[in-house]
Structure 1
Amino acid sequence: MITRTAPAARWLEALPLGNGRIGAMAWGDPAAARFGLNESTLWSGTPGVDAGRRTGADVAAAARAESRRLWAAGDVPGAEQALGALGASWGQAYQPVGDLHVEVPGAVPGPRELDLDARLHRVRTAGGDHLSAVSAADEVLLHAVPLAAGDVLRVRLESPQHEEHRSEREDGLDVILRVPSDAPPGHAPGAPGLAWGEDASRAAVAVRWRREGERALLVCAIATSWRGLGERPDRPPTEVLAEAAATAEAALARGEEELLARHASTPGEDAFALRLPGAALLEEVVAYGRYLLHACSRPGLPPANLQGLWNAEVRAPWSSNYTTNINLEMNHWAAGTAHVPAAAAALEEYTALLRRTGRDTARRLYGAGGWTVHHNSDPWGYSDPVDGETRWAIWPMGGLWLELQLEDLARFTGLPAAEVAAQRMPALREAAAFALDLLHPTDGDRLVTVPSTSPENQWRTPEGTAVALTEGSGMDRWLVRGVLSSLLAAAEVTGAAEDDLLARARAALPRVDGPRIGPDGRLQEWHADLEEPEPHHRHVSHLAPVYPGTEALAPGIEEAATASLLARGDEATGWSLAWKACLWARLHRPDKVEDLLTLFVRPAETADGERSGLYPNLFSAHPPFQMDANFGIVAAVAECLLQSHRGEIELLPAVPPLLASGSVRGLRARPGVAVDLDWAGGEPTRLVLRALGAGAAGEHRVRWGGRTLPVDLPADGAPVAPDLVGR
């Protein structure tokens, strides 16, 4: 439950509602209610809007060859500049619908709350409760309020989009909006302004209201010209408006009581509850993060973007789209451990789109098989590098990371290993095909990725120039080895016949280095031990083998990762704090986890400006606002309470004093085990395990501290509560 004593005075004080498609930021003034509206499928541009700007195969081949020549000659800045020819365009931007205003004469502000379990916003007033929800059952924002006799609602819609149609009457409002046909990001070098051509998405907003005795009910439906991921959004505006109007009228006819009952009874995620008696704010933040992920992701629609579902700006920071070098993956780290399968399904469907569009990019830019996506994308399937600096633009490994993310999420389903492997094999084959074609020989028998960068970071040449280009960065090595290993493991489980691709993967894997320890005792990020212009850089990509990686680590790697994290320091952007907390949890350092959690929950706004932390509505600050950290911190706390990547179920592996006692219901362990856990003083006091499917049935080793306990789980999903106290 998120509670506030007064209405919001600005967007970052409003509280979010969502059903995976429609988002609404509730400001909470009962006399002048305001809802910032979003719809997950409303984006600028269309598929192929960038086609005329894409780099051709001949230009790309020449750029790669020139880059290799300059690299071999020792001219790293020149080699990097040559690769800039690969990126010539940009992804599109997530768009706001506008603001819906509902005025209720005479209403006096009172305390407000966001009930996370009921998915309901409530303002308590002397005249009665003002209730708001975004219903998945009826696909509307509903707003029900007390209304004195003789009074009427006053309703208006304001939007930054181009208005093509508006009709108003006493009890209804219809609006058709057109969004930009092309929206270059504000940070793009020399980016042109917004384009407002006719070839663009439309949104129709239909608002209906009526009196019901001493109360009034308002519903708002939103429809768009969306036809699906990667499809041209060309539904006729009249059809879109007719759909929105029919949805609103059907919902209004049900009345307040039935709408609320249908909203409450809509199947949601399985129960999840965390209780932390010594850390009330952190308990709230974790529940909030899981609520947000559930509220902004569902199958058939774009997954949670950089701002989840909620965005007020036509040109939002970083276009509020998908950054695949950390943010999209972090959005879904908790989908397994905290069990949000709808989000995992949405990510799978989105990745399927990128596989389709990324095949052309792989062939055209790298002469490679399989598929690729770079650091930035959108629901139209943009997969080229963007026009920008090499340190973030030229990173062709997004496809490999997404496949490893999906590979891990599949381990939480409880499905038999052979079934999971059979499902994942085709995708793993494509990812491996691209990885193999990106590998080049170096230092005798070793293979490295070319081109390669370590996301958004740089190193300094002996001449003092900051550059990003490398060969076989630490993160690349983890990704390539992870994909090749997963493919070969799946082939073994399924009994797949040996073919050329499997043979190439088998031959290449031992020639790709795993994590390397540099002369200074830290994990090596680059091709060599190099000077860092920014030692405290926010990205810790070279530590990914520790987290989110799940493979066994060679001796000394954890110690080197510890040295790397200590050198990086604690202060960072919001999402980086969450990643570091996950890493420290994997390294069994509760003291450092506590340091990061303390930074995470501090106020983001200070007298000196903004920093990482939380805004008044608990959205996380990069700064500015980004939703990835709200999701990432759920994964971090889950990792403190339960780890299962080592082939066993480990309880309380990194519990700091802040989390010394508590209880959790609904955690998930690999390979699909539901876990309920109580603990006190850092020791487990009650444990209930349940297999979620045949693949999770059988004997599991449960470990905590220096103790282990075998637990046999039946295939029928019956709960098992082993005796912990007597052990």
Structure 2
Amino acid sequence: MRNTFAKIVWWLLPTTLLACAGDPPPAKQTSSTILYMDKPAASWYEATPIGNGRLGGMVYGGVTRDTIRTNDDTFWSGEPRDLQRPGTYKVLPEIRKLLLEEKNQEAQNVIDANLLGPWNQNYMPLADILLEWPGDGNVSGYRRELDLNRGVVTITYAQNGINYKRELFASYPDQAIVMNISTDKKNAIEFTAGLGSQIESGVKVEDGQIVIDGQAPYHTDPNYTGVHPPVYKEGKGMRFEGRLLVKQEGGSLTPSGDKLHVKDATSATLAFMAATSFNGFDKDPYTNGKDEKAICRKYLTSLEAKKYSDLYKAHVADYASLFGRVSIDLGESAEAALPINRRIADYKPSMDPALTALYFQFGRYLLISASRPGSQPANLQGIWNQDMQPAWSANWTINCNAEINYWPAEITNLSECHAPMFDMIRETSVDGAKTAKNLYNSRGWMAHHNLDIWRTTWMVGGTGLYSLFQVGGAWLCQHIWEHYLFTLDEDFLKDHYDLLKNASLFYLDNIQTDRDGYLVTSPSESFENGFVKPDGETGWACIGSAQDMQIIRALFENTMKAADILNDGAFKEDVSKAYAKLAPMKISPRTGQLQEWNDDWEPSNPASGQVGHGWAFAVGNQITLRGTPELAQAFRKTIDYRRPGYSYNSGSWTGTFPAVYWARFEEPDSVQRVIDRHFDLALSPNLTCEFMKSWQIDGNLGITTAITEMLLQSHAGEISLLPALPAKYPAGSVTGLRVRGGYEVDIFWKDGKLTKAVIKADRTKKDEVIPVRYGGIVKAVKLAKGETVILDGSLE
């Protein structure tokens, strides 16, 4: 009995011992914050992601061999490149003339022959932490758990009568991946640690550390151009260094070639730190790079004197200060006790309501892990990549994917995680101003559809069907305005107003007059979609696609509002004149649908899943259910015809857009149908979103947004409570969500009906009267600055 009690006490030690006096109590563990596997990962898609914004790791959790695959968010192939071709704009009059003459095929041939540039570079894998354990692998009670409340992975199992435990996390305060190993038996820990990399590198042991250094390729091609080996050049390419510090209590630590061997230890702590020579998007990382070795030594000096308990407490306090702002309960079910891979494999639409809440919180976890102040923004795979040629280069695709990554930032109370996006916009505007001048003969700045870490904005290769997306920069600017609407931070707006102003200036110079006298983009394309004309001709090159015009209209509106706030009346007047002449959205007299093109054409592939002209409904607010009912119903007819929620596997953006569409149409069954398809078809065993056999993180983050919007909306000028609550969640709550205007909102419901809403005016600048909607009830609620109002189901 005594031995059993001792084992129970030991099993509690990692949480109870570390919860020192004065620490806040740990958040309650629920089915919306815990996911686990009952076996080690057999592949990348079963591993558990950890990250601190800059460093990412995928934890496999093996018992004889373990791997943690790491990434540094700045580690890319290539170097700054000048892709500008001065004078290219001289071909535009020919293209524009052909488009006005409806010679679209000829126009796109000229575009592809004259305007395209080289491909992006690739985001690189960094180093693998490699651990070897003695034994035959026969273990019992294996569990690899990710606790979203703490941002900690815990691996536990029993072997030969000994209970083993590993805790892992990626620390933002200490800029390291940390692992602690413990058992319930003294002097029972033995393992060998090493480092490796797919990158050309060398490994050595020094002073109780394993050190790896190497150099990224000078050039890599995207995976879709064919398999080409990376190109290495002496004196070219980004350098990196990684250090694995190993400290043990008891036993011995000895070098074994380029590895370290721990034997007979009572506990051990490993800390991996890494740095690259990246010194900004505009500096050669080899000849003008940072000293990656000095940066690593700085991390090491700060970290090596600290105890594991200090590292743990600093990490949990930092991480929980973000994650703990929002809680969600959508109901419990028996399935929640299953390993996450089983929950996904066995998922049925009528089952496991708690999986939706878990997916929501997992999305928030991924954004915290991949995007922190000072880091790069989350890319197509967030921060995690195992391939030398990752899908779509793991870049920032700004014709939707990069933006979708940040849809949850403000509404799920992670405003700080939005900061890297704003840094990228600022950096992009530098080359974007050159592209505006050289390709369009315009002032201001712009960007097309792809960015890498070197922030080049010229059109990439292939075809203009996707690379001619001249509103990428304008869409990025939507994030600046949204951040202001949620935070009301006028200092932020002042600091970023020039980006809005100069993005608008580009369109003031560049938009053209169409046959009806309206201002439009020319040349244009519509979100990688082709069209069919009434005479059967197919193509993609056009003028004034609806999505282009929606995004430019939003940019102009936001810029004019910012100009009002910041007293720039002269520029507002310039914008307002052009704004009045922008081509309006059109409803097809033939089909009653919202037109995707300036002309009434059919999509060549209606089932593609990409419905670009829903931008004004799902991203902006030029189309709203009650504010513009005619346009809303025309778009409803469009998606009834196009059925985007059924395309591909409803993964990535192919699920996120329709899920948000249906949330804003306030049709809960349709929202849930998309979520069900997403869970059934698009998820890997570790809960990451798979798209075309690759993790694409905007699927996770976009569905997180859709789940939020079925519970709370504020885009239409009112706070709307439970606008699209599916019947699957009859009772529940969500707390800590944010809405535009500087408010935080908590919502509680039972039997499918609102029971209580709490609205806190914690960021407002003055007393306000805000309309609050629940179903058909709308109430004007008076909120004094700093006040909290509690409403019941009748909004009283």
Q: Shorter-normalised TM-score: what interval?
A: over 0.9
Residue 235 and residue 289 in structure 1: after superposition, are their counterparts in 2 closer, same or farther (change >3 A)? farther
> What's the CA shift for 1:233?
2.4
Native 8 Å contact 2:743 2:764 kept in 1: no
Native 8 Å contact 1:182 1:195 kept in 2: yes
Native 8 Å contact 1:671 1:696 kept in 2: no
The match for 2:666 is 588
- Aligned equivalents of 1:330 and 1:465: distance in 2? 33
* Deviations 1:495-516, CA, capped at 9 Å, x for gaps: 3232xx4443222212113321
The answer as to 2:736 corresponding to 1:666 is yes
- Aligned equivalents of 1:238 and 1:433: distance in 2? 35
The match for 2:262 is none
The answer as to 2:86 corresponding to 1:57 is yes
The match for 1:429 is 501
> What's the CA shift for 1:672?
1.4
Identity of aligned residues (%): 29
Native 8 Å contact 1:421 1:491 kept in 2: no
Residue 291 and residue 238 in structure 1: after superposition, are their counterparts in 2 closer, same or farther (change >3 A)? closer
Native 8 Å contact 1:643 1:653 kept in 2: yes
The match for 1:8 is 41
Matched positions, count: 706
- Aligned equivalents of 1:230 and 1:665: distance in 2? 42
Native 8 Å contact 1:412 1:668 kept in 2: yes
Map 1:327-346; keep pairs closer than 5 Å: 327-346=401-420
Residue 64 and residue 587 in structure 1: after superposition, are their counterparts in 2 closer, same or farther (change >3 A)? same
Q: Which moved more, 1:545-554 or 1:342-351?
A: 545-554
* Deviations 1:639-691, CA, capped at 9 Å, x for gaps: 11111112211101111112332111110011111111111233221221112
* Two-structure CA RMSD over aligned residues (Å): 2.2
> What's the CA shift for 1:172?
2.0
The answer as to 2:313 corresponding to 1:261 is yes
* SS state at 2:635 partner: helix
> What's the CA shift for 1:697?
4.3
The answer as to 2:115 corresponding to 1:115 is no
The answer as to 2:486 corresponding to 1:381 is no
Q: 1:79 aligns with which of 107, 121, 133?
A: 107
The match for 1:572 is 647
> What's the CA shift for 1:342?
2.3
- Aligned equivalents of 2:194 and 2:293: distance in 1? 17
Q: Which moved more, 1:141-150 or 1:374-383?
A: 141-150
Q: 1:212 aligns with which of 232, 242, 249?
A: 249
* SS state at 1:621 partner: coil
- Show structure 2 runs of 5+ residues with no match: 1-33, 251-265, 333-352
Aligned partner letter, 1:104? W
Q: Which moved more, 1:678-687 or 1:379-388?
A: 678-687
The match for 1:294 is 368
Native 8 Å contact 2:145 2:154 kept in 1: yes
Residue 154 and residue 237 in structure 1: after superposition, are their counterparts in 2 closer, same or farther (change >3 A)? farther
The answer as to 2:189 corresponding to 1:134 is no
Native 8 Å contact 2:215 2:237 kept in 1: yes
- Aligned equivalents of 2:181 and 2:64: distance in 1? 10
Q: 1:540 aligns with which of 611, 614, 623?
A: 611
* SS state at 2:214 partner: strand
Give the TM-score, by structure 2 length.
0.85
> What's the CA shift for 1:382?
1.3
Residue 360 and residue 238 in structure 1: after superposition, are their counterparts in 2 closer, same or farther (change >3 A)? closer
Native 8 Å contact 2:469 2:524 kept in 1: yes
> What's the CA shift for 1:245?
3.9
Native 8 Å contact 2:100 2:515 kept in 1: no
Map 1:139-154; keep pairs closer than 5 Å: 139-146=175-182, 149=187, 152-154=190-192
* SS state at 1:183 partner: coil
Native 8 Å contact 1:218 1:252 kept in 2: no
The match for 1:349 is 423
Aligned partner letter, 1:450? S
* Deviations 1:590-621, CA, capped at 9 Å, x for gaps: 1211111111111x4xxxxxxxx100011112
Map 1:189-338; keep pairs closer than 5 Å: 193-197=229-233, 198-213=235-250, 214-234=266-286, 239-248=291-300, 250-266=302-318, 268-269=321-322, 271-277=325-331, 279-338=353-412
* SS state at 2:616 partner: coil
The match for 1:44 is 77
Q: Which moved more, 1:250-259 or 1:203-212?
A: 250-259
Q: 2:771 aligns with which of 678, 688, 701?
A: 701
Aligned partner letter, 1:374? H
Native 8 Å contact 1:92 1:377 kept in 2: no
Aligned partner letter, 2:378? A
- Aligned equivalents of 2:199 and 2:391: distance in 1? 17
Aligned partner letter, 1:375? H
- Aligned equivalents of 2:552 and 2:290: distance in 1? 49
Residue 667 and residue 16 in structure 1: after superposition, are their counterparts in 2 closer, same or farther (change >3 A)? same
Q: 1:69 aligns with which of 73, 93, 97?
A: 97
- Aligned equivalents of 1:638 and 1:325: distance in 2? 23
* Deviations 1:697-717, CA, capped at 9 Å, x for gaps: 4332221012233333332x3
* Deviations 1:59-107, CA, capped at 9 Å, x for gaps: x224322322333444311210111221121222111113211123347
- Aligned equivalents of 1:66 and 1:445: distance in 2? 19
> What's the CA shift for 1:568?
1.4
Native 8 Å contact 1:294 1:342 kept in 2: no
- Aligned equivalents of 1:141 and 1:719: distance in 2? 40
- Aligned equivalents of 2:795 and 2:468: distance in 1? 56
- Aligned equivalents of 2:215 and 2:399: distance in 1? 31
Q: Which moved more, 1:249-258 or 1:353-362?
A: 249-258
> What's the CA shift for 1:387?
1.0
Aligned partner letter, 2:316? A
- Aligned equivalents of 2:683 and 2:795: distance in 1? 42
The answer as to 2:546 corresponding to 1:474 is yes
Residue 591 and residue 247 in structure 1: after superposition, are their counterparts in 2 closer, same or farther (change >3 A)? same
* SS state at 2:519 partner: strand
Native 8 Å contact 1:222 1:244 kept in 2: yes
Q: Which moved more, 1:297-306 or 1:527-536?
A: 527-536
Q: 1:634 aligns with which of 696, 699, 704?
A: 704
- Aligned equivalents of 2:223 and 2:567: distance in 1? 51
* Deviations 1:405-426, CA, capped at 9 Å, x for gaps: 221122111446xx66545532
* Deviations 1:115-151, CA, capped at 9 Å, x for gaps: 1110100011232321111111211111111366375
The match for 2:255 is none
Native 8 Å contact 1:180 1:196 kept in 2: yes
- Aligned equivalents of 1:184 and 1:697: distance in 2? 55
Residue 104 and residue 694 in structure 1: after superposition, are their counterparts in 2 closer, same or farther (change >3 A)? same
Residue 588 and residue 579 in structure 1: after superposition, are their counterparts in 2 closer, same or farther (change >3 A)? same
The match for 1:393 is 467
- Aligned equivalents of 2:778 and 2:637: distance in 1? 30
- Aligned equivalents of 1:295 and 1:171: distance in 2? 28
The match for 2:691 is 622
Q: 1:158 aligns with which of 171, 196, 212?
A: 196
The answer as to 2:483 corresponding to 1:409 is yes
* SS state at 1:511 partner: coil
Native 8 Å contact 2:127 2:242 kept in 1: no
- Aligned equivalents of 2:509 and 2:795: distance in 1? 56
Residue 156 and residue 273 in structure 1: after superposition, are their counterparts in 2 closer, same or farther (change >3 A)? same
The answer as to 2:159 corresponding to 1:88 is no
Native 8 Å contact 2:480 2:493 kept in 1: no
> What's the CA shift for 1:200?
1.0
The match for 2:754 is 684
Give the TM-score, by structure 1 length.
0.93
Residue 194 and residue 81 in structure 1: after superposition, are their counterparts in 2 closer, same or farther (change >3 A)? farther
- Aligned equivalents of 1:31 and 1:16: distance in 2? 20
The match for 1:719 is 788
